[in-house]
Amino acid sequence: MQKNRSEEQIPAYPIASVDNALRLLGMFREHERVRLSDAKDYLGVAHSTAHRLMAMLAYHGFVRQEQDSRGYVVGPALLEIGLAAIGNMDVRALARPLLEELASAFGETVHLVTLEGAAVRYLDAVESPRALRVAARTGSTFAAHCTASGKALLAQLDDRRLAVLFPAGAALPAQTPLSIAGWPELREELRLIRERGYAVNRGESDEGVASVAVAVPASAHLPPTAIAVSAPLSRLPEERIAEIAVSLLDVATRLA
């Protein structure tokens, strides 16, 4: 389950000025325009401190000051970041009907996943209606080599990219006792995935959970993406994994 901000651990070495600047940016979620007096009161700082913070944000283009009202509004840099994020996340709208189709066909939780370095981020999910089910992981990140979707995506990379993500001799972080622990084992696993076209996870990211995943073929309009079906181990025997993999390959091709 994802934690909300109040439940998250405070950084060990907080930087007050950075914290205040980010809190100021957060004000623009609810306010079209922010005055220095509003910023001062919200942060509980002196007027001069609020002014310096806003001036630095304006210098980097995150906010801009209106000449008539002297209030601050969202600047071009912040808009560009937001638009870039939205552009990258459009895959969710494209994939959603296909996720629902798979969830309906198999009665299990279906995830849409993207690769972020050596980790995967869960972009969207359709959760199984069954009482015993795998919970949606939307928004969460996991080590890529511990998940079916991550392994499917890693199998798409060439040796040069993989060497950057997994330096020779470096141990791989484990999430369960069944997680892949070293590069030679992962290299062999990726070879098998390339041969059969899909990846499988049996208790490597969560004990008692199994998944089968397929990478979406590379496309100019999509980020590196995979689709995974996840279920309790008891509901994913070999024959069912093969059946789901066929449907996943079809759906991934249609999405691309």
How far is Cα 60 from Cα 51, in angstroms, rounded to an integer?
Answer: 14
Q: Where are the alpha helices (DSSP H) in the chain?
A: 16-27, 36-43, 47-59, 76-89, 91-106, 148-154, 159-165, 183-196, 238-255
DSSP-derived secondary structure letter, 9: P
pTM higher than 0.75, yes or no?
no
Most confident of 20-34, 66-80, 110-124: 110-124
Q: What is the pLDDT of residue 6?
A: 43
Give the residue from 15, 21, 31 showing the smallest Cα distance to 57: 21
How far is Cα 29 from Cα 185, in angstroms, rounded to an integer?
Answer: 46
Q: Is the dihedral of CA 238, 239, 240, 242 positive or negative?
A: positive
| Tokens 């089968």 sit on residue | 212
Q: Which residues, including other chains, have CB under 8 Å from residue 108's CB and lie 6 or more apart?
A: 128, 130, 133, 134, 229, 230, 231, 235
Residue 180 has pLDDT above 90, yes or no: yes
Q: What band does 3 get if pLDDT is binned at 50, 70 and 90? A: very low
Query: Which residue has better confidence, 30 or 108?
Result: 108
Q: What band does 1 get if pLDDT is binned at 50, 70 and 90? A: very low
**Span 76-117, pLDDT tens digits:** 888 777 666 655 557 888 899 999 999 999 999 999 999 988
Residue extent(s) of CATH 3.30.450.40 domains in the chain: 90-255
230: left (phi over 0), alpha (psi -120 to 50) or beta: beta
Q: Which CATH superfamily groups domain 90-255? A: GAF domain (3.30.450.40)
Q: CA-based diameter of the chain, in Å? A: 69
Helix crossing, 91-106 with 238-255: angle to 10°? Answer: 150
Is-contact 106 229, C-beta < 8 A?
A: yes
Residue extent(s) of CATH 1.10.10.10 domains in the chain: 5-85
Q: Considering only 31-45, 73-87, 169-183, 215-229, which range has the smallest mean pLDDT?
A: 73-87
Q: Any idea what the Cα angle at residue 86 is, between residues 80 and 92, rounded to 5°?
A: 165
Q: What is the pLDDT of residue 143?
A: 93
Q: Which residues, including other chains, have CB under 8 Å from residue 138's CB and lie 6 or more apart?
A: 111, 122, 123, 124, 125
Residue 243 has pLDDT above 90, yes or no: yes
Is-contact 196 238, C-beta < 8 A?
A: no
Q: What band does 4 get if pLDDT is binned at 50, 70 and 90? A: very low
Q: Considering only 187-191, 222-226, 242-246, which range has the smallest mean pLDDT?
A: 222-226
Q: Which fold has domain 5-85?
A: Arc Repressor Mutant, subunit A (1.10.10)
Q: What band does 15 get if pLDDT is binned at 50, 70 and 90? A: confident
Q: What band does 13 get if pLDDT is binned at 50, 70 and 90? A: low
Return mean pLDDT, the chain. Answer: 88
Q: What is the pLDDT of residue 75?
A: 86
Q: Any idea what the Cα angle at residue 111 is, between residues 202 and 149, rounded to 5°?
A: 50
Q: What band does 68 get if pLDDT is binned at 50, 70 and 90? A: confident
Print the SS3 string covering 81-134: HHHHHHHHHCHHHHHHHHHHHHHHHHCCEEEEEEEECCEEEEEEEECCCCCCCC
